Amino acid sequence: MAATLPERDWETASAEEIVAAFLETFPGQVSLACSFQKEEAVLLDMLLTLEPKARVFALDTHLLFPETYAVWREVEQRYKTKIEVYEGPSLGRQIATHGDALWASNPTLCCAIRKVEPLGRALADLDGWITGLRRDQSPTRANAPKVGWDEQHELWKANPLADWDDARCWEYLRARELPYNELHDKGYASIGCIHCTNPGEGREGRWAGLDKTECGLHVDEPAEVTA
């Protein structure tokens, strides 16, 4: 049974207060999901300033941009930390079965293999996770609470930046001269895998031309992953 957060109106809490509460309530059992975008640059700083040994994990799809891998290394050096890595355990077999360009033929299955299944393992031993999700990123995220129980994964979920916007993220980053993904300077407001990310505002550059808007990490997006 997971520890329980103190009762309060989390909507009135600051991002720093939420991160601090998760660290205090779930010592060693909370982790930041890091996709190396500007939101995670903010949260990495908040989290690791409060607790230098705090846990951070990344989902390595093996299809990330070189700029993303570069800032990954930079973050580890700056904060003297090692980010936990999760990836599809049967990636090689899945690619052999479905073809390497699964992102083109079946992007939902591709995300299920490369992201959703590894996320399940990343969260399995945690009591809480922290994400960089923001309400203004897309209609599917508009009602995201700052703190809530994640029914799907059965742990507490914090979205400390839910009510932040781009300008506030950049203000925080620049004031502290934090490392960030250089793709943001090249017109990418949102950053995912190479084959599925174009420059663009908001999340318009993600899966451009497809109905798909989410990879399934933050919403239920059914996809069968064969063993």
Considering 110, 193, 196, 215, which one is annotated as catalytic? 215
**110 part of the active site:** no
Return the residue matching tokens 């290394």: 73
CB of 117 to ligand SF4, least distance (A): 11
Which residue's CB is nearer to ligand SF4, number 128 or number 192? 192
- Residues 9-38 touching ligand SF4, rule: CB under 6 A, are none
215 is an interface residue for ligand SF4 by CB under 6 A: yes
Print the binding letters for residues 102-121 with ligand SF4: x by CB under 6 A, - otherwise: -x---x--xx--xx------
Who's near 149: CB < 8 A, 6+ residues apart?
155, 156, 157
Among 15, 42, 169, 193, interactor with ligand SF4 by CB under 6 A: 193
DSSP the chain: ----PPPS-GGGS-HHHHHHHHHHHSTTSEEEE---SHHHHHHHHHHHHH-TT-EEEEE--S-B-HHHHHHHHHHHHHHT---EEE--TTHHHHHHHH-TTHHHH-HHHHHIIIIIHHHHHHHTT-SEEE----GGG-GGGTT--SEEEETTTTEEEE-TTTT--HHHHHHHHHHHT----GGGGGTBSS--BGGGB-SBSTTTTBTTTSS----SSSS--------
195 is an interface residue for ligand SF4 by CB under 6 A: yes
Rounded distance, CA 125 to CA 217, Å? 17
Which residue's CB is nearer to ligand SF4, number 172 or number 188? 188
Which residue's CB is nearer to ligand SF4, number 24 or number 221? 221
Q: Count the residues of the shown chain that bind ligand SF4, applying the rule CB under 6 A.
A: 13
98 is an interface residue for ligand SF4 by CB under 6 A: no
CB of 64 to ligand SF4, least distance (A): 8
Which residue's CB is nearer to ligand SF4, number 115 or number 218? 115
CB of 106 to ligand SF4, least distance (A): 8
Q: Which residues pair with 148 in a beta bridge?
A: 157
Among 118, 160, 179, 192, interactor with ligand SF4 by CB under 6 A: 192
Residues binding ligand SF4 (CB under 6 A): 61, 63, 103, 107, 110-111, 114-115, 192-193, 195-196, 215
